[in-house]
């Protein structure tokens, strides 16, 4: 399998190309991975295509050799998601490939488990900065499946199987209240750029571990590639490029963003009388 993963949901923008020579390697997410990522700011569109070219060159293949596609569909930044999903759609159409969409929160949770190990990451909360003093968040109870081999190298456990997603955006105070509730049942490892932004609020709370928030602040293209490979081998079906959709989560934001960019309408001068 040669799987190309596209990441642009947050300020980090990049790509990874995972190469596996057998089904067992793909199922565990192992194999050689080339990655290029940059802090995009507002330059997601300018940075993503070169990153894809670089990972292909590093892997010694061309886009025509890619046989699987994955993309982070959010939630995250409106512009970043538009760029990543549009790029994945274009590649899928050009290469004749369906696309696997993976959420940014799942990628962050998988990255936390990779970075911290099964004991420290038994309970993880992934937090993405939603701007406007809000965050998107989900909790993951990896400890509930520790007996299924979660501690053997790269975890075979899919974060989606142990996820408690908060579909609505949360204010910082709502996030703190939720984390306090979770921490009442044991330590919670918190990661993501939303945790970094509100670190002063979160770090002093009992039972809340924010020490890896800076290290796992953005979804990693490599982690996205490994998680997507495991899902594909497990039978998760990708979708056609036309059916791929970003998870803006705050749909009003998407609508407002388009309206603000639309040309201002002016009163039209009456046309010639054609009667």
Rg (CA), the chain: 20
Q: What is the 3-state secondary structure (H, E, C) of 182-234?
A: HHCCCCEEEECHHHHHCHHHHCCCCCEECCCCCCCCCCCHHHHHHHHHHHHHH
Share of the chain above pLDDT 90, in %: 79
pLDDT surpasses 60 at 256: no
What is residue 267's predicted lDDT score, i.e. its pLDDT?
Answer: 43
Name the strands in the sheet holding 163-170, side by side, starting at the edge strand that comes first in the sequence.
163-170, 134-141, 123-131, 188-191, 208-209
Listed in sequence order, the DSSP H helices in the chain are 23-28, 44-59, 78-95, 104-116, 172-183, 193-197, 199-202, 221-234, 251-261
Q: Is 159 strand, coil or helix?
A: helix
Which phi-psi region, left, alpha or beta, contains residue 90 (left: φ > 0; alpha: ψ -120 to 50)? alpha
* Nearest to 128, CA basis, from 248, 255, 268: 248
* pLDDT of res. 151: 45
Structure confidence by residue, pLDDT tens digits, 6-21: 999 999 999 999 998 7
**Each residue's pLDDT tens digit, 173-226:** 999 999 999 999 999 999 999 999 999 999 999 999 999 999 999 999 999 999
SS3 128: strand
User: Is the Cβ–Cβ distance between 126 and 223 less than 8 Å?
Assistant: no
Measured CA distances, 138 to 33, 104, 170 (Å): 27, 10, 11
Instruction: Using CB atoms within 10 Å of the CB of residue 6, give its burial: 0 to 12 exposed, 13 to 18 middle, 19+ buried.
Output: buried
Give the tokens for residue 171: 């204010």
Residue 157 backbone dihedrals phi, psi, to 5 degrees: -80, 130
pLDDT value, residue 171: 97
Which region among 57-66, 99-108, 145-154, 181-190 has the lowest average model confidence (pLDDT)?
145-154
Overall average pLDDT of the 155-171 stretch: 91
Average confidence score pLDDT of the chain: 88
DSSP 3-state helix, strand, coil percentages of the chain (rounded to 5)?
40, 25, 35
Chain segment 223-239, per-residue pLDDT in tens: 999 999 999 999 999 99
Query: Domains in the chain, please, with CATH?
Result: 2-103+220-257 (3.30.420.40), 105-209 (3.30.420)
Between strands 2-7 and 68-74, the pairing is parallel
**pLDDT tens by residue, 70-112:** 999 999 999 999 999 999 999 999 999 999 999 999 999 999 9
Mean pLDDT of all residues in 117-136? 96
Average pLDDT of the residues in 241-267: 67
């Amino acid at each position: 399998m040669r799987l190309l993963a596209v990441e642009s949901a947050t300020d980090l923008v990049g790509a990874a190309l995972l190469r596996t020579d057998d089904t067992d390697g793909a199922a565990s997410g192992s194999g050689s991975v080339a990655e290029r990522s940059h802090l995009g700011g507002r330059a997601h569109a300018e940075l993503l295509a070169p990153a894809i070219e670089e990972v292909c060159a590093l892997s010694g293949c061309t886009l025509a050799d890619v046989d699987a596609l994955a993309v982070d569909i959010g939630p995250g930044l409106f512009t970043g998601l538009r760029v990543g999903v549009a790029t994945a759609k274009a590649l899928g159409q050009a290469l004749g490939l369906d696309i696997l969409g993976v959420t940014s929160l799942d990628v962050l949770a998988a990255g936390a488990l990779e970075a911290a190990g099964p004991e420290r990451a038994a309970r993880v909360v992934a937090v993405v900065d939603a701007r406007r003093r809000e965050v998107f968040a989900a909790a993951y109870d990896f400890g509930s499946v520790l007996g299924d081999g979660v501690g053997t190298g790269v975890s075979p456990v899919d974060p989606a199987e142990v996820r408690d997603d908060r579909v609505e955006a949360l204010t910082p105070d709502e996030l703190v209240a939720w984390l306090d509730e979770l921490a009442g049942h044991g330590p919670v490892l918190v990661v993501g750029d939303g945790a970094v932004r509100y670190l002063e609020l979160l770090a002093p709370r009992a039972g809340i571990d924010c020490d890896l928030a800076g290290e796992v602040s953005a979804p990693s293209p490599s982690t996205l590639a490994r998680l997507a490979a495991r899902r594909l081998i497990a039978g998760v079906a990708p979708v056609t490029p036309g059916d791929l959709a970003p998870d803006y989560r705050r749909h009003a934001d998407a609508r407002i963003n388009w309206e603000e960019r639309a040309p201002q309408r002016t009163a039209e001068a009456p046309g010639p009388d054609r009667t």
